[in-house]
Chain A
Amino acid sequence: MQGKAWYKYLLSLPPMAYLLIFFAAPTFIMLFASFRYAGEYGGLAPWYLHEGGRLTLDLTLENWQRLLETDIYLRLFLRSIGYAVATTLLCMVMGYPLALMIARSGRKHRDLLLLLVILPFWSNFLVRIYAWMIIFSPAGALTRMINGALELLGMGSVTLMYSPTAMLVCLVYVHLPFMVLPLYANLEKHDLDLLDAAQDLGAGKWRRFWLITWPLSLPGITAGSILVFIPVLGMFAIPDLLGGTNGIMIGNVIKQQFMESRDWPFGSVLSMVLTVTAVAVVLLGSRLGARREGR
């Protein structure tokens, strides 16, 4: 049965057809849309002209040129990547000790500790953002506490709401489990005898960490980094709610083209750029992962 062709198609065709229609086709439609004109009232203009009984193509490079016209889109892009890199690094710094602690704790507690990481993750992510909006509110307790302390020290007050700091904290908060879980999965598999052997040979705590644990955990870090980096890159809700006047990311501009400005072609251009970046990151990550595996 397993070798028969009909069985193979029975299994693979339905999901393949579905994904071709609802994933591959829309992606190509977007690519095509990036070369079309915007419709008079939004949407897309026809891609052909009917002139004297002949059909001619009516496509343009205008939308792509607009991307290169000024440096503002490049800067937007770099800023988005900057947020994604910063979030990834912070998640790593915060997630590593946590994952290590869980992996090194007794079997009995491990599941519970892990569940405690996942639990907040199961509440809707808008709720989690909302929680920080309460905290960052200038009338909120935290901000008043910080400002009270700053005043005592004779320094000026700070505003947390609508600042890059607020955005970053929220981005880290929402994506932290994406880093912790793959890291834990990796750390848990480490052979602790290696550490014991190193200790017997006289290696200190930090030396043992840097020479054994860290290199062994690199695949987990790579996986976690991809899982954090990509969703942050396309984020629009957090900048929308917490970003202030300077917190715009590429996701917001894409959303703006489709949901406000009614400029689908330019929105498609930006989406394509984001697609290519995400693909590049994934490829780079899996390349790095593969090289390590091979070592």
Chain B
Amino acid sequence: MKSLLGLLLLLLATPVFAGEELHIFNWNDYMSEEVVAGFEKSCNCKVVQDYYSGTEEMMAKLQAGASGYDLVVPTQNAVQALIQQGFLEKLDKGALANIKNQDPGFLNRSYDPGNVYSLPYAYTTTLIGFNEQRLKEQGIEPTGWAVIFDPQILEKIKGKVTVMDDADELLGAALKYLGYSVNDVDEKHLREAQQVIMTAKPYWAAFNSSSYIKELTVGNIWVAHGYSSDMVQARNDAMDAKRDFSVNFILPKEGAVLALDNMVIPKKAKNKKLALQFIDFLMDGKNAAGLSNDVGAGNPNAAALPFINPELKQLAAIFPDQKVLATLETLEATSTKVRRLKNKLWTEIKLK
């Protein structure tokens, strides 16, 4: 027992990292390890990351007193909600020299006029990723949301489809399929969307917001509803692993959700200075480009464009042009009443 105790003491006594720590709360698969390593070198600090896979999950975590994050990367509708709750620290623009690099088209949006609290980080669209060969074998040509909602198509790919485990995203997709706006709060329309989902549900394998990259790459799943950046990673992974099929993705013709993700600093952050430093570091053209190249996300940084992989840049689903942008919508923050209604519809979807 003594030697065991000694071992324990030895382990406990190993010097814990002495420098500063930066705690980040970010979407999963949404950060470039290389860029992080570069920052750690330049600041002599340690970056500690926690991940989430849904806006509601992130909000609940923060609500549950998860104080101690220095930097959070929420989507625009969550930024709006966090501002309303007085959760965010105003950004000290004086400390952000690289702010000039940001594309003005992504600044000064309605969720945070004047970018007092937030600066854009990256953007994604929510779309459909699929296994090209397997779908071709079944004679399916994916063009719109029908591929995850239409029972006639689903009949051929039963058990090979996953959809996002996220009320806003899935209801939003169903609303788009029906021709409504993703921000429609009319109860009747939401019920219709719920019905679409219920009809399709028996054909789906799972609600999955976190591991569809891998499922697509392995070939377990043929169609996945998910974020564009993840689909790029799945495509690259499948190529690297030399699978006998390729993963591709399309933006549904009916339109889809555009998510503009932002960097914000919570009021309770312990290391605001370091967080600002990191934000500035990320807004450097090369670093911002590194993020895009590594995770396959769209980039709101004008100085980054020259450094971005040209093949990535020409993908309309990742860097949408004006025509495509017109079909995309961003989610808006919802009132408590609407949130309750959506929660109720969502619980029913999950249970029935």
Q: CB atoms of A and B under 8 A apart anywhere in the complex?
A: yes
- Which A residues lie at the B interface, using CB under 8 A? 38, 40-43, 70, 72-73, 75-76, 137-139, 159, 161-162, 243-245, 248, 252-253, 256, 258-263
Asked if residues B350 and A248 are in contact (CB atoms below 8 Å), the reply is yes
Q: Known: A159-B159, A256-B347, A261-B343. Is A138-B60 also a contact (CB below 8 A)?
A: no
Of the candidates B56, B219, B220, the one whose C-beta lies within 8 Å of that of A262 is: B56
Asked if residues B204 and A245 are in contact (CB atoms below 8 Å), the reply is yes
Q: Which residues of B contact A38 (CB under 8 A)?
A: 340
B302 within 8 A of A: no
Q: Which residues of B contact A245 (CB under 8 A)?
A: 201-202, 204-207
**A41 and B56 alpha carbons, distance in the complex (Å):** 11
Q: Which residues of B contact A40 (CB under 8 A)?
A: 336
B108 within 8 A of A: no
Asked if residues B57 and A260 are in contact (CB atoms below 8 Å), the reply is yes
**A70 and B344 alpha carbons, distance in the complex (Å):** 11
Residues of B within 8 Å of A, CB-based: how many?
A: 29
Q: Which residues of B contact A42 (CB under 8 A)?
A: 59-60, 63-64
Q: Which residues of B contact A256 (CB under 8 A)?
A: 347, 350
Of the candidates A75, A137, A259, the one whose C-beta lies within 8 Å of that of B60 is: A259
> B-side binding surface: helix, strand, loop or mixed?
helix
Closest to B163 in A: A245
Q: Which residues of B contact A263 (CB under 8 A)?
A: 340, 343
Q: Which residues of A contact B220 (CB under 8 A)?
A: 137-139, 161
B41 within 8 A of A: no
Q: How far is the CB of A58 from chain B (nearest CB, A)?
A: 16
Asked if residues A259 and B336 are in contact (CB atoms below 8 Å), the reply is no
Asked if residues B218 and A139 are in contact (CB atoms below 8 Å), the reply is yes
Closest to B166 in A: A260
Q: Which residues of B contact A162 (CB under 8 A)?
A: 159, 205-206
CB-CB contacts of B151-175 with A at 8 A, as 1s and 0s? 0000000010000000000000000
CB-CB contacts of B51-95 with A at 8 A, as 1s and 0s? 000101101110110000000000000000100010000000000
Asked if residues B59 and A262 are in contact (CB atoms below 8 Å), the reply is yes
Asked if residues A139 and B350 are in contact (CB atoms below 8 Å), the reply is no
Q: How far is the CB of B33 from chain A (nearest CB, A)?
A: 23
**A138 and B352 alpha carbons, distance in the complex (Å):** 26
**A245 and B204 alpha carbons, distance in the complex (Å):** 7
**A73 and B219 alpha carbons, distance in the complex (Å):** 35
Of the candidates B63, B204, B350, the one whose C-beta lies within 8 Å of that of A43 is: B63
Q: Which residues of A contact B218 (CB under 8 A)?
A: 137-139
Q: Which residues of B contact A41 (CB under 8 A)?
A: 59, 63, 81, 85, 336
**A138 and B348 alpha carbons, distance in the complex (Å):** 29
Asked if residues B205 and A159 are in contact (CB atoms below 8 Å), the reply is yes
B351 within 8 A of A: yes
Asked if residues B350 and A262 are in contact (CB atoms below 8 Å), the reply is no
Can you list 14 A-B pairs, Cβ within 8 angstroms, ordered by A? A41-B336, A72-B348, A72-B352, A73-B351, A161-B220, A244-B205, A244-B206, A248-B351, A259-B61, A260-B60, A261-B343, A261-B346, A261-B347, A262-B59
**A122 and B206 alpha carbons, distance in the complex (Å):** 30
CB-CB contacts of B309-352 with A at 8 A, as 1s and 0s? 00000000000000000000000000010001001001110111
**A139 and B238 alpha carbons, distance in the complex (Å):** 14
Q: Which residues of A contact B59 (CB under 8 A)?
A: 41-42, 262
Asked if residues B63 and A75 are in contact (CB atoms below 8 Å), the reply is no
Q: Which residues of B contact A260 (CB under 8 A)?
A: 54, 56-57, 60
Q: How far is the CB of A80 from chain B (nearest CB, A)?
A: 11
Asked if residues B219 and A139 are in contact (CB atoms below 8 Å), the reply is yes
**A256 and B64 alpha carbons, distance in the complex (Å):** 13
CB-CB contacts of B172-205 with A at 8 A, as 1s and 0s? 0000000000000000000000000000011011
Q: How far is the CB of A236 from chain B (nearest CB, A)?
A: 13
Q: How far is the CB of B107 from chain A (nearest CB, A)?
A: 27
**A260 and B346 alpha carbons, distance in the complex (Å):** 11
Q: How far is the CB of B208 from chain A (nearest CB, A)?
A: 9
**A41 and B64 alpha carbons, distance in the complex (Å):** 11
Closest to B158 in A: A159
Q: How far is the CB of B15 from chain A (nearest CB, A)?
A: 27
Residue of B54, B56, B220, B336 most packed against chain A (CB within 10 A): B220
Q: How far is the CB of A291 from chain B (nearest CB, A)?
A: 37
Closest to A39 in B: B63
**A73 and B202 alpha carbons, distance in the complex (Å):** 19
Given A40-B336, A258-B60, 20 additional A-B pairs, CB 8 A: A42-B60, A43-B63, A70-B348, A138-B218, A139-B218, A139-B219, A162-B206, A244-B204, A244-B206, A245-B204, A245-B205, A248-B350, A253-B347, A256-B347, A256-B350, A258-B64, A259-B57, A260-B57, A261-B60, A261-B343
Q: Which residues of A contact B159 (CB under 8 A)?
A: 159, 162
Residue of B57, B205, B346 most packed against chain A (CB within 10 A): B205
Q: How far is the CB of A83 from chain B (nearest CB, A)?
A: 14
Q: How far is the CB of B42 from chain A (nearest CB, A)?
A: 36
**A133 and B336 alpha carbons, distance in the complex (Å):** 38
Q: Which residues of B contact A262 (CB under 8 A)?
A: 56, 59-60, 63
Closest to B243 in A: A139
Closest to B221 in A: A138
**A40 and B81 alpha carbons, distance in the complex (Å):** 11
**A245 and B201 alpha carbons, distance in the complex (Å):** 7
Q: Which residues of A contact B60 (CB under 8 A)?
A: 42, 258-262
Chain A to chain B: the 7 pairs with minimum beta-carbon distance, closest first = A42-B63, A260-B56, A261-B343, A159-B159, A244-B206, A72-B351, A162-B206
Asked if residues B219 and A161 are in contact (CB atoms below 8 Å), the reply is no
Asked if residues B336 and A253 are in contact (CB atoms below 8 Å), the reply is no
Q: Which residues of A contact B201 (CB under 8 A)?
A: 245
